[in-house]
Amino acid sequence: MTDPTSGAAPAPFDLDALDFAKQGGLLPAIVQDARTRRVLMLGYMDRAAVEATLASGKVTFFSRSKNRLWMKGETSGDVLEFRSIETDCDADALLVQAIPHGPTCHLKRASCFPEAPGSVLAELEATIEQRERERPPGSYTTTLFESGVRKIAQKVGEEGVETALALVAQDDKAVLDEAADLVFHTLVGLRARGLGLAEVERVLAKRHQAKARVSG
């Protein structure tokens, strides 16, 4: 299966392997944010809904109240951009990963589960990407991008030194504050180079796998 955050075409999905008959033709479908991993909502899909999702690139459900196919965001515009789909071990439930465009919940919350955990780093990275695209005036992040990679690199270096000094001579709060500044500026620097957390995670995964092979 492709990286769900990449936007690349998803791998072929075998609909015939799904057990629609077990639950009257409908399968529960959990939707997860492909970037932050936050659970967004639960819906139901019949075969036609899965086919429509795969064909359109927009997550589509079977609405039990409307008794028809329903594309999330068809009236609000808050669509779920499809990234990947997989089934559980019994082939009677689905996990759909998507990029939300706007709030998922009808109450205008990011998730229908308000306390659903997600990655703060991934949310920060998404905000940084938005700042780079839109360049809102008055934004510190906009100022960094407009200053160029060399200036951003200088800030990363400064924050690295300040973090190192805090580790040696300051209290825990100072260490955490400086570390947060370092992570933020590093993410900006990665974005300025067209890179992000996904690429860093792949490097770490390869290192972990290599280490596991050696120790095993």
**Digitized pLDDT (tens) for each residue of the chain, 216 residues in all:** 445 555 555 556 788 899 998 888 999 999 999 989 999 999 999 999 999 999 999 999 999 999 999 999 999 999 999 999 999 999 999 999 999 999 999 999 999 999 999 899 998 998 999 999 999 999 999 999 999 999 999 999 999 999 999 999 999 999 999 999 999 999 999 999 999 998 999 999 999 998 887 876
What is the per-residue pLDDT for 68? 96
Record the pTM. 0.71
The architecture (CATH level 2) of 15-100 comes to Roll (3.10)
With b for 16 or more beta-carbon neighbours within 10 A and e for fewer, the 51-76 pattern comes to ebbeeebbbbbbeeeeeebbbbbeee
The answer to whether residues 2 and 10 touch, using CB atoms and an 8 Å cutoff, is yes
Where exactly are the structural domains of the chain? Answer: 15-100, 120-215
CATH superfamily of 120-215: MazG-like (1.10.287.1080)
On the 0-12 / 13-18 / 19+ scale of CB atoms within 10 A, 139 is middle
Domains 15-100 and 120-215 share a fold: no
In the numeric block, which tokens belong to residue 76? 């609000």
What is the per-residue pLDDT for 2? 47
What is the per-residue pLDDT for 8? 53
What is the per-residue pLDDT for 13? 79
Distance CA 98, CA 84 (A): 7
In the numeric block, which tokens belong to residue 86? 């997989």
What is the per-residue pLDDT for 1? 41
